[in-house]
Structure 1
């Protein structure tokens, strides 16, 4: 008799669960696991993906790379371990075999790929069903998205370009449901990452259909920009150990500055022909308010103006957004460098361009 009552009770519990009568919060999302990644393309998974919060749209994972086996680590980083953050489109887990375009977004200096701001930018710009995967790879505090000329022996090779383009891109395509072709791939970045996005797009135009720079330092012939890059090699806050001034692009003084000149995005725009291009910049706003960020944005703007002029001279269509002090661009935007409201507006606008220019469901 007891067994019969237990069976009836068990059936009732199961039925209640099916009918949603178990007391679970209305609208509560079923717990799903993030994707499981497989080693490949020179990357070894050190830590499998985990959700960053209960919304289950954004996850992080950790890999090791043969191209950057160690790097100058900032606070909270483990040298040689690369955190990568991914935001999936809403409904990715229930969309069957649907494949999505990917935007690779490169962080600035000295910053991290997995910041709360990056997560907000990705999730807010794709809210409401925008079918886009966003990927933010580690670029180190001073990686500068290039293969270093003179990496220090204690770190080994610093082939950031090889890491991102030769390893991360095919690794993501192998582990997520992406549109694994140029038509489904874009690259963007902020500040140092804006430089990286344009540099990568110019170096490998067969990989990307769209490129975007948010306040990027795009002209390495600009002496203020060149001084800023050299400064990053000496700042402990950009990673330990610090490195020699010629470690990244070589000697920064003529006539030994050939790599600086060759790697400068502003002067090598012709390979962007046929690609969507968007540049965003402010003017720094009120100089008396946060003068460092104001001057930094002003220098970035100068480098963007040179890039814009070279794009126009080459007859390459592009979008150029100069929002000045930010007052007409977005609420809370003040035109300064690394200002969250400005960057969120940049990303929202850029995502709209991507949805008009990329292949997607």
Structure 2
């Protein structure tokens, strides 16, 4: 009995230690020289984080009307995933509705430059990262899903792998929605620009096998059809990618489930490129 109790309390103590040793969640102020302002981001580092080890980084973008806190508030299990896969997760602020573009209409909105260059440089300087494309992934939801693929295809030497969760990957069917005309101008007056800033039309930039891509969207999502079109176009252009679909709408319930599969996908990529 004494041996059993000893083993039980040892096991219990081990469990307490295991569950209380969690990732660190910090809010950092980064500086965008292109926009001349400070921008906040959440940075999640795994438990046991050490400057003597280099970690892969996943950039996770929020959707329209969200902010840098949205992901950690809605998916606190991100801490567990950072621990499980020993990676850093960064959730930057996309200014409510920037769509992660360098806007040709709003001079002060340069979120492609910020996320695609300035933020990456900040994270690589301040944290112990694998400072190469082989150590970086980017994904996001809705507006952030479009933003992640848009940045990935325009910065193929920065991100080795990328994804999208319910991404608005073709903006052309939605000319009056989500403030896009504020940042791109009226579609009828700028049709070529709307194609230039849309993932679907710019996907021809992708080089086969250069990036590992994963796209997820629920069948009840209003972005489902444009995601299917992107999947079909990538297939036609011989761009290898993983396309995951199933029941689900444009909701956090879907994204909480889907993001864990994307993080596993990224983890497998990082392991293969070590």
**What TM-score do the two structures reach when normalised by structure 2?**
0.85
Following superposition, the deviation at residue 109 of structure 1 comes to 0.7
Flag the structure with higher helix content. Answer: 2
SS in 1 for 2:156: coil
2:90 to 113, 132, 135: 135
User: Matches of 2:183 and 2:77 in 1, distance apart?
Assistant: 29
The structure with the larger Rg is 1
1:281 is paired with a residue whose SS is strand
CA contact (8 A) 2:31 2:39 kept: yes
> Which residue of structure 1 lines up, in the alignment, with residue 7 of structure 2?
none
Alignment-derived partner of residue 9 in structure 2: none
Partner residue, 1:352: 264
1:90 and 2:39 aligned: no
Partner of 1:280: 216
Q: How is 1:240-251 mapped onto 2 (pairs within 5 angstroms)? A: 246-251=181-186
Q: Provide the aligned C-alpha RMSD in A.
A: 2.3
Contact 1:189 1:213 in 2 (8 A): yes
Q: CA deviation at 1:189?
A: 0.6
Within the candidate set 242, 255, 258, 2:192 is matched to 258
Cα offsets for 1:226-266 (capped at 9, x unmatched): 332xxx33xxxxxxxxxxx6431123115x22211111101
Count of residue pairs the alignment pairs up: 255
For the residue of structure 1 that corresponds to 2:117, the secondary structure is: helix
Residue 118 of structure 1 deviates from its aligned partner by 5.2
TM value normalised by structure 1:
0.66
Gaps of 5+ in 1: 1-25, 31-53, 70-79, 234-244, 285-296, 325-334
SS in 1 for 2:42: strand
Residue 167 of structure 1 pairs with residue 118 of structure 2 = yes
1:148 aligned partner: 103
1:312 is matched with: 235
Report deviation, 1:267: 2.1
Q: Which residue of 1 aligns with 2:12?
A: none
Q: Is the 8 A contact 1:146 1:160 kept in 2?
A: yes
Residue 341 of structure 1 and its aligned partner are, at CA, apart by 2.8
Question: Paired residue for 2:3?
Answer: none
Q: CA deviation at 1:206?
A: 0.8
Superposed displacement of residue 280, structure 1: 0.6
